[in-house]
């Protein structure tokens, strides 16, 4: 890793070498949370409010350049900045879920806006036709090369799916999920993609793990632990977990479980689990009530997560 890129990655970690980052780059999903009447300004206002109230206890914040630049300016001093590079969502009519970039931005422009890291999200199904996945792999490789040329850290977020099963929370998909998550990690951990950090899903749906969910268990605790350990063992680059919108409590419990399983993950990029209640308050009672919720419960969520990370996450091995 080149010196400039290394320094940027260091800016995104805490004093212990762990990534404790807050994700507020949601666009379509956030608009739904804020309500049908939420306009572009409402998205920008909520992101800025969240940055003001929740960045005192994080190592970095992930934002989008469409609605999040005022939030980037509002983050606390010393907090690193990751900017999203992809368009939000995907064309529901196109089962391939091909990635696309924000046309008015480049890695160079995002770097000039202050980004220490660039985040690209792709939807990846290892069982799609080879020509589809080769196109996605080439896409990631191009972005990786662009980040390398500009000396910024490259975060690749992978969301797995199956084009035949739309409900990714269903038992049918949950049975497939471990293989899809692990295989995607194996592919994109290869040096050709120049990924510095993989942002990945928890490899099992914890709702179907014995003792965690109300649903009928698909895995015993031992079986689930073995999957977490296998994920850790195959990781060729540092990896962090995304929260996928689960509750703050369940996400924290999951991190403890991963640690007990022997997984060596390097932090989190956690969004809705920390601030969802603030979005609901914003929608129903306005910005002042949202600020109150974020300053109290939102910050409690962040601080509780920080304590869990200190006990569970593994420092990224960065040369001094």
Q: 170-201 pLDDT, tens per residue?
A: 999 999 999 999 999 999 999 999 999 999 99
Does residue 318 belong to any structural domain of this protein? no
Tell me, what's the pLDDT at 293? 98
**Residue 317 domain-assigned?**
no
Looking at the domain assignment, is residue 216 inside a domain? Answer: yes
Q: What's the domain range around 85?
A: 3-312
The answer to the question of residue 49 being in a domain is yes
- Tell me, what CATH number does 131's domain have? 3.20.20.70
Q: Look at residue 319 in the predicted model and tell me its pLDDT.
A: 63
Give pTM, 2 decimals. Answer: 0.96
pLDDT at 138: 98
The pLDDT score that the predictor gives to residue 213 is 83
Q: Which residues contact 21 (CB under 8 A, 6 or more apart)?
A: 12, 58, 59, 60, 61, 62, 80, 82, 240, 267, 268, 269, 270
Digit-coded pLDDT (tens) for 253-299: 999 999 999 999 999 999 999 999 999 999 999 999 999 999 999 99
Helix (H, G, I), strand (E, B) or coil at 145: helix
Q: Is the dihedral of CA 310, 30, 189, 222 positive or negative?
A: positive
Under the banding of pLDDT at 50, 70 and 90, the label for residue 3 is low
| Residue 319 is assigned to a structural domain of this protein | no
Over residues 35-76, the pLDDT tens digits come to: 988 999 999 999 999 999 999 999 999 999 999 999 999 999
CA–CA separation, 84 vs 118, rounded Å? 6
Q: Is residue 236 part of a domain?
A: yes
Task: Tell me how far apart the alpha carbons of residues 258 and 249 are, in angstroms, rounded to a whole number.
Answer: 14
For the chain, the domain total comes to 1
* Residue 320 pLDDT exceeds 60: no
99 vs 67, 144, 254, CA distance in Å? 20, 14, 29
Question: Burial, 320: exposed, middle or buried (Cβ in 10 Å; 0-12, 13-18, 19+)?
Answer: exposed
Residue 320 lies in a domain: no
Confidence (pLDDT) at 204: 97
Contact present, 35 and 275 (Cβ < 8 Å): no
Helix pair angle (272-285, 40-54), 10° resolution = 130
3-state secondary structure of 235: coil
């Amino acid at each position: 890793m080149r010196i400039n890129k290394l320094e940027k990655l260091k800016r995104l970690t805490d004093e212990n070498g762990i990534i404790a980052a807050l994700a507020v780059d949601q666009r379509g999903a956030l608009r739904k949370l804020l309500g049908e009447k939420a306009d572009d300004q409402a998205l920008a206002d909520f992101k800025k409010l969240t940055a003001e109230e929740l960045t005192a206890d994080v190592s970095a914040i992930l934002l989008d350049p469409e609605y999040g630049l005022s939030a980037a300016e509002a983050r606390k001093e010393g907090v690193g900045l990751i900017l999203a590079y992809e368009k939000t969502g995907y064309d529901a009519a196109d089962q391939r879920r091909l990635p696309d970039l924000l046309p008015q931005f480049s890695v160079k422009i995002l770097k000039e806006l202050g980004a220490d890291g660039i985040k690209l999200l792709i939807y990846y199904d290892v069982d799609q036709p080879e020509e589809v996945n080769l196109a996605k792999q080439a896409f990631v490789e191009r972005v990786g090369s662009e980040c390398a040329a500009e000396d910024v850290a490259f975060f690749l977020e992978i969301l797995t799916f199956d084009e035949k099963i739309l409900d990714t929370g269903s038992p049918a998909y949950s049975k497939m999920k471990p293989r899809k998550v692990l295989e995607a990690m194996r592919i994109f951990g290869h040096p050709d993609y120049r990924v510095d950090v993989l942002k990945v899903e928890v490899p099992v749906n914890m709702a179907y793990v014995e003792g965690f969910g109300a649903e009928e268990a698909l895995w015993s605790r031992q079986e689930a632990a073995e999957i977490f350990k296998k994920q850790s063992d195959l990781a060729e680059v540092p990896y962090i977990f995304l929260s996928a919108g689960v509750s703050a409590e369940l996400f924290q419990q999951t991190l403890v479980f991963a640690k007990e399983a022997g997984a060596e993950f390097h932090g989190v990029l956690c969004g809705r689990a920390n601030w969802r209640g603030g979005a609901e308050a914003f929608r129903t009672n306005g910005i002042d009530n949202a600020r109150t919720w974020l300053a109290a419960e939102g910050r409690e969520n962040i601080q509780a997560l920080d304590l869990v990370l200190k006990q569970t996450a593994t420092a990224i091995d960065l040369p001094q």
